Structure 1
Amino acid sequence: MGFKLAVVGATGNVGREMLNILEERGFPADEVVPLASRRSMGTEVSYGDKTLKVRALENYDFSDTDICLMSAGGTVSKEYSPRIGRQGCVVIDNSSAWRYDQDVPLIVPEVNPDAIDGFSKKNIIANPNCSTAQLVVALKPLHDIATIRRVVVSTYQSVSGAGKAGMDELFEQTRAVFVADPISVKKFTKRIAFNIIPHIDVFMEDGFTKEEWKMVAETKKILDPKIKLTATCVRVPVFIGHSEAVNIEFEKPISADEAREILREAPGCLVVDKREDGGYVTPYESAGEDATYISRIREDPTVENGLAMWVVSDNLRKGAALNAVQIAELLLARDLIQPRKRAA
Structure 2
Amino acid sequence: MGYKVAVVGATGAVGREMLTTLAERNFPADEVVALASGRSAGGEVSYGEDRTVVVQDLSKYDFTGTDIALFSAGGDVSKEYAPKAGKAGCVVIDNSSAFRMDPDVPLVVPEVNPDALARYGRKNIIANPNCSTAQMVVALKPLHDAFGIKRVVVSTYQSVSGAGKEGMDELFNQTRAVYVNDPVEKEKFTKQIAFNVIPHIDVFMDDGFTKEEWKMTVETKKILDPDIDVVAQCVRVPVFIGHSEAVFIETKKPIDEKSARAAMEGFPGLVIIDHRADEGYVSPVECAGEDPVYVSRIRKDPTVKNGLVFWCVADNLRKGAALNAVQIAEELVARHLKKAA
Fold agreement, TM-score > 0.5: yes
1:261 is displaced (CA, Å) by: 1.8
1:265 is displaced (CA, Å) by: 1.5
Segments ≥4 residues shifted beyond 3 Å: none
User: Where does the alignment leave 5 or more consecutive residues of structure 2 unmatched?
Assistant: none
Aligned residue number for residue 179 of structure 1: 180
Aligned residue number for residue 112 of structure 1: 113
Aligned residue number for residue 146 of structure 1: 147
Aligned residue number for residue 45 of structure 2: 45
SS in 1 for 2:59: coil
RMSD over aligned Cα atoms: 0.9
Q: Deviations over 1:253-308 (max 9, x none)?
A: 01101111221111110000011111000001000000000000000011001000
> 2: CA distance between counterparts of 1:265 and 1:69?
29
TM-score, length-scaled by structure 1: 0.98
> 2: CA distance between counterparts of 1:3 and 1:26?
12
Q: Deviations over 1:73-118 (max 9, x none)?
A: 0000001100100000000000000000000000000000000000
1:338 is displaced (CA, Å) by: 3.9
> 1: CA distance between counterparts of 2:189 and 2:8?
25
> 2: CA distance between counterparts of 1:83 and 1:62?
8
1:10 is displaced (CA, Å) by: 0.2
Letter in 2 for 1:145: A
Aligned residue number for residue 219 of structure 2: 218
1:337 is displaced (CA, Å) by: 1.3
Residue correspondence of structure 1 range 186-197 to structure 2 within 5 A: 186-197=187-198
Q: Deviations over 1:166-212 (max 9, x none)?
A: 00000000000110000001100000000000000000000000000
> 2: CA distance between counterparts of 1:119 and 1:306?
36
Aligned residue number for residue 54 of structure 1: 55
> 2: CA distance between counterparts of 1:268 and 1:302?
30
Aligned residue number for residue 287 of structure 1: 288
Aligned residue number for residue 208 of structure 1: 209
Residue correspondence of structure 1 range 239-318 to structure 2 within 5 A: 239-318=240-319
> 1: CA distance between counterparts of 2:183 and 2:202?
26
> 2: CA distance between counterparts of 1:293 and 1:255?
19
> 1: CA distance between counterparts of 2:137 and 2:203?
23
Aligned residue number for residue 129 of structure 1: 130
Matched, 1:26 2:20: no
SS in 2 for 1:102: coil
SS in 2 for 1:326: helix
Letter in 1 for 2:83: P
> 2: CA distance between counterparts of 1:109 and 1:338?
17
Residue correspondence of structure 1 range 73-112 to structure 2 within 5 A: 73-112=74-113
Matched, 1:337 2:301: no
> 1: CA distance between counterparts of 2:246 and 2:205?
23
Query: Bigger shift: 250-259 or 231-240?
Result: 250-259
Letter in 2 for 1:47: Y
SS in 2 for 1:53: strand
Q: Deviations over 1:313-335 (max 9, x none)?
A: 0000000000000000001111x
SS in 2 for 1:208: coil
Letter in 2 for 1:274: H
TM-score, length-scaled by structure 2: 0.99
Aligned residue number for residue 36 of structure 1: 36
